Amino acid sequence: DTGVSQDPRHKITKRGQNVTFRCDPISEHNRLYWYRQTLGQGPEFLTYFQNEAQLEKSRLLSDRFSAERPKGSFSTLEIQRTEQGDSAMYLCASSQARSLTDGDTEAFFGQGTRLTVV
């Protein structure tokens, strides 16, 4: 296992189309995070999972965004009816947490999916 893998690396889509991104975390990690990053800004939290359970979802995340982690392994992030403001780098990260109430170790990031909405 060489780290967190994201697919695709780049996606160009027309406004109004749906897109789906995939993230494969480090195999022994039980936590998986999705972040969004725009130019010149730090990563902005979107949501995270512990195993297959979605524990937190950002209040900034519109209903057009949905994430799943069906078997506690890989995760998908879908954006419906894309808008130009959705253009950003979407980052996935994984880490190992000891319990729901215990903090986890440091998170390791994938290379990201660059989304451009035209």
Partner 1 sequence: EDQVTQSPEALRLQEGESSSLNCSYTVSGLRGLFWYRQDPGKGPEFLFTLYSAGEEKEKERLKATLTKKESFLHITAPKPEDSATYLCAVRVFPSGSYDKVIFGPGTSLSVIP
Which residues of this protein are in contact with partner 1, per CB under 8 A?
4, 6, 33, 35, 40-45, 48, 55-56, 91, 93, 100-101, 103-112, 114
Sign of CA dihedral 44, 50, 28, 105: positive
Nearest to 117 by CA among 89, 82, 93, 91: 82
> Please, which residue, 107 or 115, has the CB nearer to partner 1?
107
Task: Label residue 3 left, alpha or beta by phi (over 0 means left) and psi (-120 to 50 means alpha).
Answer: left
> Please, which residue, 19 or 26, has the CB nearer to partner 1?
26
Output the CA angle 70-114-43, nearest 5 degrees: 75
> Please, which residue, 21 or 33, has the CB nearer to partner 1?
33
Bridge-based pairing state of the strands 19-24 and 75-79: antiparallel
Least separation in angstroms between residue 4's CB and partner 1 is 8
> Please, which residue, 80 or 111, has the CB nearer to partner 1?
111
Least separation in angstroms between residue 65's CB and partner 1 is 17
Centre a 10 Å sphere on the Cβ of residue 112 and count the other Cβ atoms it contains: 21
Least separation in angstroms between residue 89's CB and partner 1 is 8
Least separation in angstroms between residue 88's CB and partner 1 is 13
